[in-house]
């Protein structure tokens, strides 16, 4: 007999003639000289050159070990005392009982999604990063998930994790913020056959990704064509003068005209309007001439009004002077004073009345 000592946390496997015989727990033991012993650390996964299936035929070994079998289409996450330890791929694994508290989480690789029960901290470990792919949906986005070409679900804001397996994962995204659509250089005939070039702008928002992406092919192209046709319909029913007068009303017409149609593709119109309305050169020249003529006519009207007012004022003054001789004399002297300011020398004849001579000189004598 020979003595052996098994330390705490270890376990001994006794072999007789190469075959497993029994287990020895921590402590001091005596064994036969013909027996051999393997000392195993119970905190580590069990490993041995002897096939596990052979050892499991012995009840004492079977009761001391926990066996985990992982199929080809599975992954198992092992936790030790509640903390993530490792990923187990396809195969058979064994762990000693009694030292560490082992727990195992099975994952089905036939599924595309990573189970929600797996914590974010575990998903961020390198072991899981190599086995998964992360898709981030921004707060201003909506997204549709397609698995193997089939619509699966709508993805909400946040991070979504999928297994890196044979499943074909595709994401269709939509920006739900306000977007601008520019319709430039549209050449349209008015009702009176004037060829205009119009630049139009619209603001819209996608509110239903399912209608915009799944039920509609290239919704942006369809939206562009809707605005284009509505603009042509509005402009084509009005003569040029009326169109220029009602240019601001195009927004109301198009929103009312297209609201129901855009809802069918999951789009809401927020605002729209004509940005530029460009006239042909010859029409622009005619419009300028008309504008100049209008302004001249307005100026002539103002001038005639001023002349009429001035004449009316003179007439009223004349009537007052006719009824009031003293006022007439004062007015007469006022004019004489004004005229005298511009005369440097006056010659008077001898013997005549000075005032009479001045009156005769200025043509005010009665």
- For 12-32, write each residue's pLDDT tens digit: 899 888 888 899 898 998 888
The b-or-e profile of 309-335 (16+ CB within 10 A means b, else e) is eeeeeeeeeeeeeeeeeeebeebeeee
CA distance 225 to 211: 17
Q: What pTM, to 2 d.p., does this model score?
A: 0.67
Domain 179-279 is in which class? alpha beta
Phi and psi (nearest 5°) for 153? -170, 175
- CA angle 220-181-172, nearest 5°? 35
pLDDT higher than threshold 60 for residue 365: no
| Higher per-residue pLDDT: 137 or 185 | 137
Residue 342 reports pLDDT greater than 90: no
Q: 268: closest CA among 282, 255, 249?
A: 255
Structure tokens belonging to residue 46: 């069990």
Contact 191/238 with Cβ under 8 angstroms?
yes
Q: Supply the pLDDT for residue 281.
A: 60
For the chain, give every domain's residue range: 179-279, 282-323, 332-366
Mean pLDDT of 269-275: 92
Q: Does residue 248 surpass a pLDDT of 90?
A: no
Give pLDDT tens digits for 46-70: 998 888 889 999 999 999 999 999 9
Tokens of 177: 């913020």
């Amino acid at each position: 007999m020979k003595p052996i000592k098994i330390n705490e946390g270890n376990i001994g496997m006794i072999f007789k003639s190469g075959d497993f015989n029994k287990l020895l727990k921590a402590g001091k033991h005596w064994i036969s000289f013909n027996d051999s012993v393997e000392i195993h650390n119970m905190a580590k996964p069990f490993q041995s050159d002897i096939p596990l299936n052979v050892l499991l035929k012995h009840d004492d070994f079977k009761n001391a070990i926990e066996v985990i079998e992982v199929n080809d289409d599975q992954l198992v996450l092992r936790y030790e005392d509640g903390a993530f330890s490792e990923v187990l791929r396809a195969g058979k694994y064994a762990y000693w009982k009694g030292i560490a508290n082992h727990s195992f989480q099975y994952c089905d690789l036939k599924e595309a999604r990573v189970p929600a029960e797996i914590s974010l901290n575990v998903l961020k470990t390198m072991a899981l990063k190599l086995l998964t792919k992360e898709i981030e949906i921004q707060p201003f986005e909506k997204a549709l998930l397609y698995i193997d070409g089939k619509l699966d679900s709508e993805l909400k804001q946040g991070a979504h994790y999928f297994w890196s397996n044979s499943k074909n994962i595709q994401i269709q995204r939509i920006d739900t913020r306000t977007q601008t659509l520019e319709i430039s250089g549209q050449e349209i005939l008015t009702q009176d056959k004037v060829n205009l070039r119009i630049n139009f702008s619209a603001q819209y928002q996608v509110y239903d990704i399912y209608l915009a992406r799944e039920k509609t092919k290239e919704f942006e192209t369809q939206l562009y064509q809707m605005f284009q046709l509505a603009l042509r319909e509005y402009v084509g029913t009005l003569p040029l003068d009326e169109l220029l007068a009602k240019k601001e009303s195009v927004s109301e017409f198009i929103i009312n005209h297209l609201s129901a149609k855009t809802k069918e593709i999951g789009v809401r119109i927020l605002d729209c309007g004509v940005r530029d309305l460009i006239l042909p050169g010859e029409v622009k020249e005619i419009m300028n001439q008309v504008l100049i003529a209008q302004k001249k006519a307005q100026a002539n009207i103002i001038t005639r009004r001023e002349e009429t007012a001035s004449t009316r004022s003179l007439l009223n003054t004349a009537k007052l002077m006719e009824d009031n001789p003293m006022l007439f004399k004062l007015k007469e002297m006022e004019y004489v004073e004004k005229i005298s300011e511009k005369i440097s020398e006056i010659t008077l004849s001898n013997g005549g009345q000075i005032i009479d001579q001045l009156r005769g000189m200025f043509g005010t004598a009665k």
